[in-house]
Amino acid sequence: MRPDAVQMLSDIEDEVRYTRTFIGRDALAPQVMAAMAVVPRHHFVPADEQAFAYVNGPLPIGWGQTISQPYIVALMTDLLGCGAGDRVLEVGTGSGYQAAVLSRLVDQVYSLEIVPQLATAAAERLQSLGYANVTVRLGDGHRGWPEQAPFDGILVTAAAPAIPPALIEQLRPGARLVIPVGQAYGHQELVTLDKALDGALSLTKVLDVAFVPLTGGAAA
């Protein structure tokens, strides 16, 4: 493993300990940390950001978008709680890094990206790196991916003022949705939404966060 990747894992562990009161855990699942260890983050950041690829912070990837800090990627993956055999929807492909991490844990990742340039580049990048179980599509994340629903987990990498109803509908009973909720560039909270087997919904607030806004919308 690259020395900078080792430092990244150590930084994630430190961040988990620092936020344990909020996130309700002292450590992330070993399989999540293993996935973080093997996905080459430097392949998912722009050339001029290579020196900072494994720093525990977000980085710009163009078109007003960012790649989330490693701790947040690891935490959201852990909160999702998906594993072998599961089919996951990701909203907001970005550079493809979160999808690559998820791909190490689940059977299939369906990822939506609204920015055409990012969608094309991420699909090519993931294919070239061998992530054959990730499918990227250009589309509005508010609408989800109804043809592939229901999903065993949904992870949204941009903040919405409210959880899009289509995503709730496409979540399988017994599954979880992880999403930052709040105003664009204002107060946001990372939340989990659990759908019980009878369809009942349960919302849990996890941590204050800062994400780029989820663009598009049902009327777009």
- d(Cα 192, Cα 165) in Å, to the nearest integer? 14
Phi/psi at 59 (nearest 5 deg)?
-135, 145
Among all residues, which ones are annotated catalytic? Answer: 68
CA distance 88 to 111: 8
